[in-house]
Amino acid sequence: MRKKKHYICVFRQPIEVSINQNTVMPAWFDVYGLTVDAPQDEAGIMKAAEQITRIIKAEVETGEVTMEHIVLGGFSQGGSVALYAALTDANLRGLAGVVVLSSWLPLAQQLASDSSRIQAERSLPILHCHGAADSLVPYAVGSLTNAFLRNFHFTAAELHKIADLGHTCNEEEMKLAQTFIHKVLTT
């Protein structure tokens, strides 16, 4: 197998987003609210996760990369879709790791009530970075995601609270991601 490094960045098409007065904007799925008990766009979340799985399966089918050499990641909704797909799709078993930035686990309550939907190996490395000053997706939501992962025995899940960081990225977060990716791809 030929070794090569490449990155695939998937961008979303604009859709109406309910929480923003149906403003058309790039989004993976509709958002109705930003509280833990807000309704969620289950069909949209699942459709987005399936799209990610199709892209990864197509890469693996080329024969130029194995699942063990793929790190799935994203920011905000992208990180949420990445995490949901990695946890729930058996086709993604064996991923090298998952990087989620300023994200949350969508449909966590449904997964908690039916844990058979969780297909990932509990040793899956997960890096979750979240800004302490994030007002769009509050740090508390990220912390709940980490608690979920711990409750379901994801032993290699780590949460990093980034001081003074809002709903954006900074150099500290990028260095954490770089170190994590290097670690999971070289071990």
| Residue-wise pLDDT tens digits, 163-174 | 999 999 999 999
Establish if 4 belongs to a structural domain: no
Which one of 18, 143, 160, 167 is the catalytic residue?
167
Instruction: Give the pLDDT mean for 133-147.
Output: 95
* 165 closest CA partner among 125, 136, 144, 145: 136
Of 69, 80, 89, 134, the catalytic one is 134
Tell me, yes or no, whether 158 lies in a domain. Answer: yes
Active-site residue, 89 included:
no
Percent of the chain with pLDDT over 70: 97
pTM of the model: 0.94
Q: Is residue 116 part of a domain?
A: yes
Give domain status of residue 5, yes or no.
no
Q: What is the model's pLDDT at position 1?
A: 47
Q: Is 167 tagged catalytic?
A: yes
In a domain, 89, yes or no: yes
- Residue 69 in any domain: the answer is yes
- Residue 9 domain-assigned (yes or no): no
113 is catalytic: no
Binned at pLDDT 50, 70 and 90, residue 35 comes out as confident
* Segment 38-91, tens digit of pLDDT: 899 999 999 999 999 999 999 999 998 999 999 999 999 999 999 999 999 999
pLDDT band at residue 3, thresholds of 50, 70 and 90?
A: low
Q: How confident is residue 37, by pLDDT bands cut at 50, 70 and 90?
A: confident
4 has pLDDT over 90: no
Q: 41, 69, 76, 128: which one is catalytic?
A: 76
Flag whether 49 is in a domain: yes
Tally of structural domains, the chain:
1
Q: Which domain range does residue 85 map to?
A: 14-186
CATH number for the domain including 155?
Answer: 3.40.50.1820
Confidence of residue 34 (pLDDT cuts 50, 70, 90): confident
